[in-house]
Amino acid sequence: MLIWINGAFGAGKTQTAYELHRRLDGGYVSDPEFLGFGVHKMLPAGARQDFQDLPQWRSGVITTLAQAEAACAGQLIVPMSIVRDDYFDEIVGGLRSSGVQLRHYTLNATAATLERRLRLRSRHLIGRVLRRDETWATQQIDRCVNALAADRYATHIPTDDLTPDEVVELIAADADLELIRPRLSAARYQLRRLEIGIRHIRF
C-alpha cells in the first residue's frame, strides 16, 4: 500500500511520514522531491522551473513510485505537496491505474497556523544557517490552503489542534495499519525531528 501525505508547506508532511514509518513494521519513505532536485541538477540554471511543471518529473514519479511500492515490504509512505488538480489527477490517478493501492491524506491547517510553523522553523539554527529560505513557502500558503480544501484532496486531517502523534494515529486508524512502536518522549521526539531536518537540508 502507498500512503500519500499531502499538505501545504509547513503542514508537517515529512515529520508525519517518518514518524508513521518509525511506528510501523517495515515500509519505506519515498520523497519525490529527490527526483525533482535530480532533474534540476541535470538542467542549466535557466531551465530550472518548478519541477512539478516538468512532464519528465511527473511521469518519473509515477514509474518510480509504482516500482518502489511493488518492491516495498510494508507501506510505501510518500510526503509530497501537490495542489494542482491536473497534476494530482495525472500522478495519483496514474498510480491507481497502474494497480497501486493508494491512500491519500491531506494535512490541513489554517493560514495562521502554517505561517507560525514556518516562522518557527526558519528561526531554528538549522533554518537560519542551512535550510533554504522559507519566504517562498510562506507565499504559497493561501494558494495551497484554498486548493487542498477541495474534495479531490480528501482524506482531510485538520492538524491545527493535533499533536504529530495524533496525526500519525489518525492516519494509521483510517488506513487500518497496526502501529507496533509507542510514542517517543518529548525530548526524544525533538532529537529525531532535528535528525530528520538535517537529512533534508537542500543546498
Output 185 or 19, whichever has higher pLDDT.
19
Give Cβ neighbours of residue 163 (< 8 Å, ≥ 6 apart): none
- Tell me, what's the pLDDT at 125? 46
**77 to 17, 31, 47, 124, 147: CA distances (angstroms):** 6, 8, 30, 26, 22
Q: What is the pLDDT of residues 50-59, one digit of tens each?
A: 999 999 999 9
pLDDT at 37 > cutoff 80: yes
Q: What is the pLDDT of residues 187-200, one digit of tens each?
A: 887 888 778 777 76
Whether the upstream peptide bond of residue 135 has omega within 30° of 0, thus cis, is no
Q: What is the pLDDT of residues 44-96, one digit of tens each?
A: 999 999 999 999 999 999 999 999 999 999 999 999 999 999 999 999 999 99
Place of cell 494497480: 99
Query: To the nearest 10°, the Cα dihedral for 13, 15, 17, 20?
Result: -140
Report, as an integer, the average pLDDT of 5-13. Answer: 95
Give Cβ neighbours of residue 38 (< 8 Å, ≥ 6 apart): none
Which residue, among 4, 27, 29, has the nearest Cα to 74 in the 3D structure? 27
Cell reading at 59: 511521469
Give Cβ neighbours of residue 147 (< 8 Å, ≥ 6 apart): 83, 84, 85, 153
- Tell me, what's the pLDDT at 107? 98
Q: What is the pLDDT of residues 159-185, one digit of tens each?
A: 999 999 999 999 999 999 999 999 998
Rounded Cα–Cα distance for residues 89 and 153 (Å): 10
**Ordered structural domains, the chain, with CATH:** 2-199 (3.40.50.300)
- Cβ–Cβ < 8 Å for 41, 114: no
Q: What is the mean pLDDT of the chain?
A: 91
Per-residue burial over 15-44, b if 16 or more Cβ lie within 10 Å, else e, is bbbbbbbbbbeebebbbbbebbeebbeeee
Q: What is the pTM of this model?
A: 0.90
Q: What is the pLDDT of residues 97-149, one digit of tens each?
A: 999 999 999 999 999 999 999 988 766 545 444 455 568 889 999 999 999 99
Which residue, among 45, 102, 43, has the nearest Cα to 69 in the 3D structure? 102
